[in-house]
């Protein structure tokens, strides 16, 4: 093949790779779906079979596709966690971690900072008088050793006076709150998608402007007392949110 031909073949295959990745990302190609044969694909995209082959090999290497000998090339099932927003109340446990735990991921976390602060804005979020102290816990959460969420949690210090002595990299915040008889059992929550900031995006290994879920949870114990305010930044690429809604 001459030089030009080779260059064209390589860029054709690069373009084809991108197209397929995009189709997988937007869901035009679904996990488990079979791709066209290499010949059909070459015809469809008007590129050489060599270019198709090259693109397919790269995508298999990169984990987007897999081959089943004798039957073709398929889209790999993605390791996307599903967060079911509806089950949380039934299991009496909420927060991103609890939802993902239900989805079977192995969870761990790293505490970045923690301690008490006396700041009116945080006291207000917990419906406390402005002078009251809150205990703040700032963590990165890992699912199967990959960072998936950055969280800021605030709890009223007077209800959890021994929080400072707890190692929250080992002990779950909810287990601790439960042990102190102030487990959140009802929640107000909201979420939106934002573009990753330098700070939280950086901790999650995201480039700027990549999307990230932003959650806010306000948790109430069984006496209706505000016991938790959490802000959570969750990677979008490994998560989708599901919920059932009824007409009211």
Footprint of another protein (CB under 8 A): 25-28, 30, 85-86, 89, 113-117, 119-122, 124-125, 136, 138, 152, 186-199, 209-214, 218, 220, 224, 236-237, 239-248
Cα–Cα distance for residue pair 19/16, rounded to 1 Å:
5
Give 62 or 209: the residue with its C-beta nearer to another protein. 209
Q: How far is the CB of 48 from another protein (least distance, A)?
A: 26
Residue 179 DSSP symbol? H
**Shortest gap between Cβ of 165 and another protein (angstroms)?**
16
User: Half-sphere exposure (CA, 13 Å, Cβ side) for 142?
Assistant: 10
Nearer to another protein, 5 or 205 (CB): 205
Contact 109, 170 (CB under 8 A): no
Q: Which is nearer to another protein, 32 or 69 (CB)?
A: 32
Closer to another protein by Cβ: residue 57 or 197: 197
CA-based end-to-end distance of the chain:
66
Does residue 42 contact residue 52 with C-beta atoms inside 8 Å?
yes
Taking the complex as a whole, the smallest distance from the CB of residue 6 to another protein amounts, in Å, to 29
Nearest-approach distance from CB 4 to another protein, in angstroms: 29
The dihedral sign for the CA sequence 48, 51, 54, 58 = negative
């Amino acid at each position: 093949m001459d030089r030009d031909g080779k260059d064209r073949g390589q860029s054709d295959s690069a373009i084809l790779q991108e197209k397929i990745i995009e189709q997988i990302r937007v869901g035009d190609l679904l996990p488990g779906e079979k791709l066209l044969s290499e010949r059909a694909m070459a015809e469809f995209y008007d590129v050489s079979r060599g270019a198709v082959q090259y693109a397919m090999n790269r995508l298999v290497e990169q984990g987007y596709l897999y081959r089943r000998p004798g039957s073709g090339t398929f889209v790999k099932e993605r390791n996307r966690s599903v967060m079911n927003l509806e089950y949380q109340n039934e299991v009496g446990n909420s927060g991103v971690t609890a939802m993902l735990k239900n989805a079977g991921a192995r969870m761990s976390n790293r505490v970045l900072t923690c301690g008490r602060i006396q700041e009116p804005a945080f006291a207000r979020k917990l419906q406390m008088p402005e002078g009251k102290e809150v205990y703040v816990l700032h963590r990165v959460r890992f699912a199967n050793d990959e960072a998936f969420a950055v969280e800021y949690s605030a709890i009223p210090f007077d209800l959890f006076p021994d929080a400072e002595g707890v190692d929250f990299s080992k002990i779950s915040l909810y287990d601790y709150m439960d042990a102190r008889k102030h487990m959140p059992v009802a929640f107000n929550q909201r979420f939106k998608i934002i573009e990753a900031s330098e700070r939280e995006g950086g901790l999650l290994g995201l480039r700027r402007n990549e999307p990230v879920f932003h959650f806010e949870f306000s948790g109430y114990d069984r006496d209706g007392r505000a016991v938790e305010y959490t802000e959570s930044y969750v990677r979008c690429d490994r998560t989708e949110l599901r919920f059932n809604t009824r007409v009211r």
